Chains A and B, each alone.
Chain A
Amino acid sequence: MPPSTHTSTSLLDPKSLAKISKLELVANQFMDGYVQGLHRSPHLGFALDFAQHRQYTPGDDIKRLDWRVFAKADRFYIKQYEVSTTLKAHVVLDASGSMAYRGQNDAMSKFRYAQFVAACLSYLILRQQDAAGLVTFDNQIRQMLPPRTAPSHLLRLIRAVDETRAEKESAIAPILHEVAERLKQRGLVIILSDCIDKAPDVVEALHHLRHKKHEVMLLQIMADDELTFPFRKWSLFESLERDDFRMKLDPALVRARYLENLEKHQQILTEGTSKLAIQHLLLNTTRPFDDALVAYLAERMGKK
Chain B
Amino acid sequence: MFLMLSMLGGLGAIAIPVLVHLLHRQKTTPIQWGAMQFLIESPLQQKRRRHIEHWLLLLARMAVLGLLALVLARPLLDADLATPLGGGTTTDFAVVIDHSLSTGRAAGEGKTVFARSVELTAQIAHQLKPTDTLSVVLAEQVPKTLNERPMAFGSDELQKVNDSIGKLKPGLTRANLAPAVQAAREMVSHGRGVHKKIIVLSDEQKTSWQLDNLPAWKSALADASGEIDRRVGVFDLAIAPDGEMSNLTVGSLEIQPPVISPNRPVAFTASLTASGSRPVPVVPVSFWIDGKLVASQTVSDLLPGGSRSLRFEHVFAAPGSHGVKIQADVADALEADNSASLAVNVVEKIPVLVIDGQLTAAGSFRSSQFLRAAMQPEDESMEASSLIRPTIISLSDAPQARISDYAAVIVNDVPSLPSEVLSRLADYARGGHGVWFVLGPRTQADFVNGALSKAGLFTAELDAVAGKADRDPPGIAVKDPSHRIVSLLSAAEKNVFTGVVATQWWRFKTVSPDAQVVLATATGDPLVLDRAIGSAGGRVIVWTTSADGRWNTLPMAGAFVPLVQETLLHLFGPTASATFAHNLEAGKPIAWTAATSSQVLSATVTRMSDAAITPLKVAMQSGRSTTRFEETHNPGLYQLRFVPSEVPQPVYYSAGIDPREIDPAVLSSDDIKFLKSNGLLQGRLSADKINFVMSAPGSGSELWPMLAFAVVGLLVLETFMTYRMIRLQTGAVKTTQQGKMPFAA
Residues of A that sit less than 8 Å from B by CB: 97-101, 110, 194, 196-198, 223, 226, 231, 233-241, 245, 247-249, 252-265
Contacts and interface: CB of A to CB of B under 8 A. Distances in A.
Interface stretch (B25-33, B135-143, B594-602, B676-684): B25-33
A240 B34 contact: yes
B39 A235 contact: no
Nearest to B732: A256
A240 B743 CA distance: 25
A283 to B, nearest CB: 15
B733 A255 contact: yes
Nearest to A254: B42
Given A98-B35, A196-B34, A245-B36, A253 B728 contact: yes
28 contacts: A97-B34, A101-B34, A110-B34, A197-B37, A198-B37, A234-B28, A235-B31, A236-B29, A236-B30, A236-B31, A237-B36, A237-B39, A238-B30, A238-B31, A239-B34, A239-B36, A241-B36, A249-B47, A253-B728, A254-B42, A255-B733, A256-B733, A256-B735, A258-B42, A260-B743, A261-B37, A261-B743, A263-B739
Given A97-B34, A197-B37, A265-B38, 9 more contacts: A194-B34, A223-B34, A233-B29, A235-B31, A240-B32, A254-B42, A257-B736, A258-B42, A260-B736
Given A253-B729, A260-B743, A261-B41, A247 B36 contact: yes
| Central interface residue in A262, A263, A264, by most chain B CB within 10 Å | A264
Nearest to B43: A257
A238 B32 contact: yes
Contacts of B729: 252-253
B524 to A, nearest CB: 107
B741 interface: yes
Nearest to B46: A257
A259 B34 contact: no
Nearest to B40: A247
A99 B35 CA distance: 9
A237 to B, nearest CB: 4
Interface in B9-60: 24-25, 27-43, 47, 50
Nearest to A255: B733
B30 A235 contact: yes
A245 B736 CA distance: 26
B399 to A, nearest CB: 98
A221 to B, nearest CB: 11
Nearest to A166: B34
Nearest to B30: A236
Interface of B: 24-25, 27-43, 47, 50, 728-729, 732-733, 735-736, 739, 741, 743-745
B35 A262 contact: yes
B266 to A, nearest CB: 102
Contacts of A238: 30-33
Contacts of B744: 261
Contacts of A100: 32, 34
Contacts of B37: 196-198, 261
Given A255-B733, A256-B741, A226 B35 contact: yes
A237 B35 CA distance: 10
A85 B731 CA distance: 57
A257 B41 contact: yes
A196 B50 CA distance: 27
Nearest to A222: B35
Given A233-B29, A237-B39, A257 B732 contact: yes
Nearest to A247: B39
A198 B37 CA distance: 9
Contact of A261 (B28, B34, B38, B50): B38
Contacts of A254: 39, 42
A222 to B, nearest CB: 8
Given A257-B741, A264-B743, A99 B34 contact: yes
B34 A98 contact: yes
Contacts of B736: 255-257, 259-260
Contacts of A97: 34
B134 to A, nearest CB: 58
Contact of A262 (B29, B33, B38): B38
B38 A237 contact: no
Nearest to A236: B30
Contacts of A101: 32-35
Contacts of A236: 28-31
B741 A196 contact: no
B741 to A, nearest CB: 5
A296 B125 CA distance: 101
Nearest to A262: B38
B34 A234 contact: no
Given A257-B41, A257-B736, A241 B29 contact: no
A66 B561 CA distance: 182
Top 9 closest pairs, chain A to chain B, by CB: A98-B34, A256-B736, A101-B34, A256-B732, A261-B38, A264-B743, A237-B33, A257-B42, A236-B30
A231 B31 contact: yes
Contacts of B47: 249
A231 B35 CA distance: 14
A197 B27 CA distance: 31
A254 B50 CA distance: 11
A258 B38 contact: yes
B410 to A, nearest CB: 103
B732 A239 contact: no
A139 B404 CA distance: 121
Contacts of B50: 253
Contacts of A247: 36, 39-40
Nearest to B36: A239
| Central interface residue in B34, B35, B39, by most chain A CB within 10 Å | B34
B28 A235 contact: yes
B27 A241 contact: no
A241 B38 contact: no
A97 B37 CA distance: 13
A226 B42 CA distance: 16
Contacts of B32: 100-101, 238, 240
A212 to B, nearest CB: 27
B733 to A, nearest CB: 5
